[in-house]
Amino acid sequence: MDDLLELLPPGSAVAADGTLSVAGCRADELAAEFGTPVLVVAESALRDRAREYRTELAARWPNSRLVFASKAFPCTAVQRVMVEEGLGLDVAGGGEIRTALKAGVDPALVVLHGNAKSVDELTLAVRHGVGLVVVDGPDDVDRLEEIVPPGGNQDVLVRVIPGVAADVHAHVMTGHEGAKFGLAPPAAAELIARIGRSDRITMRGLHVHVGSQILDTAPFAQSVAPVAALGAFEVYDLGGGLGARYTYADRPPSVGDYLDTLVGAARQHLPRGAQVIIEPGRSMVASAAFTLYRVTTVKRGAHTFVAVDGGMGDNLEVALFAQRFEAGIANRLGGTGGERAVVVGRHCESGDVLVDGVELDAPAVGDLLVVPATGAYCFTMANNYNGTRRIPVVFARDGSARLVVRRETWEELSARDVG
């Protein structure tokens, strides 16, 4: 029980009857009010993490900017929290631009990414005054020079492949040679020279990002020198990628340790007067949220399969890059009847496994099952496989809960089908 509580938002507790309580809200009451599955965010944990990052970065490199990697949780309410806490937003595509604007962000504090940005997306960015567009290759420059009107200007960064292979799943590795993002240094240098000749695009600096769910600080430091070798610029966006704690065994670096390493490399290689931007995503939001499910089926045999009313429709991380999660019976966390089980989803795929082997207290149909650390990349990759409706998002704080994204309706599920 104590181990599971450590994976849940700070302040999580167990009531006298063994029921999980997070941010002062009981799991059974959340399930009764909002149904299951439901993604619950502890708002105070979200705000505390944003403040920690902002304070720690400013203490190490005063001329710095913190932007939240929206793709980790592109929910307007989450983006609004980040804006209220003084952060900018990193967006990847037109939809995230729109939710960022809805969240009240200053467009000048927005950074647009993407390896294949469309004309519509770049037009939207230019029209709304997005501060920085990260140029991923020459085609971005071609499109921007057509979109930016005569006499206008768009500030850009050039994304560089540093040749750093982080020890992560191949699907979340982005800084290695052969990555689909950015340009190798020689090609980046050519594009930088071209941008310097443009009368509509201004070269502000460089961008680098080595991957996601990185549990070692070394790759972050290794990525700085290849960027610095391209010259002195006003801005260096050093990306994000710090890992989050998903399992009992995970020991990710603290924010302070991560920044000590990254800023240490920046001091060694970058101009002291430059602005440093970082883009944390997963490590900002993963542990601030959890998902509640209802157990629908239990099969005991060679394995004990505990099936819940969600799965890969609301959490693709397991199937996409084998992310490990933990779980517990939320209405009986203090129990002692441990049973090794495989938690599976309701979808018609053998790969729909949420947790492949976890101790649960005598799981039974009707129990509530909690999976911690679902704040990153679950909401954003939610899907309608097998005609499943996307699940709601609830903010919990000081004993109160409020709906910020409602459950998809059956009518919405078929609204685009004109056949």
Instruction: Report CA 115 to chain centroid distance, whole Å.
Output: 18
Ordered DSSP codes for 94-154:
HHHHHHHHHTT--GGGEEE--SS--HHHHHHHHHHT-SEEEE-SHHHHHHHHHHSPTT--E
Within 10 angstroms of residue 59's Cβ, the number of other Cβ atoms is 12
Give CATH superfamily name and number for 2-42+286-414: Lyase, Ornithine Decarboxylase; Chain A, domain 1 (2.40.37.10)
Q: What is the pLDDT of residues 162-202, one digit of tens each?
A: 866 554 545 444 545 666 778 999 999 999 999 999 999 99
Within 10 angstroms of residue 179's Cβ, the number of other Cβ atoms is 21
Active-site residue list: 348
Q: Which residues of the chain have pLDDT under 70?
A: 1, 163-179, 335-337
What's the whole-model pTM score? 0.94
Q: Which residues are CB-neighbours of 56 under 8 A, at least 6 positions away? A: 255, 256, 259
- Nearest-angstrom CA–CA distance, 163 and 135: 18
Q: Does the domain at residues 44-285 carry the CATH identifier 3.20.20.10?
A: yes
- Nearest-angstrom CA–CA distance, 331 and 112: 43
Residue that has been written with the tokens 């037109």 in this structure: 94
Show me where the domains of the chain are located: 2-42+286-414, 44-285
pLDDT of residue 173: 43
- Nearest-angstrom CA–CA distance, 127 and 145: 14
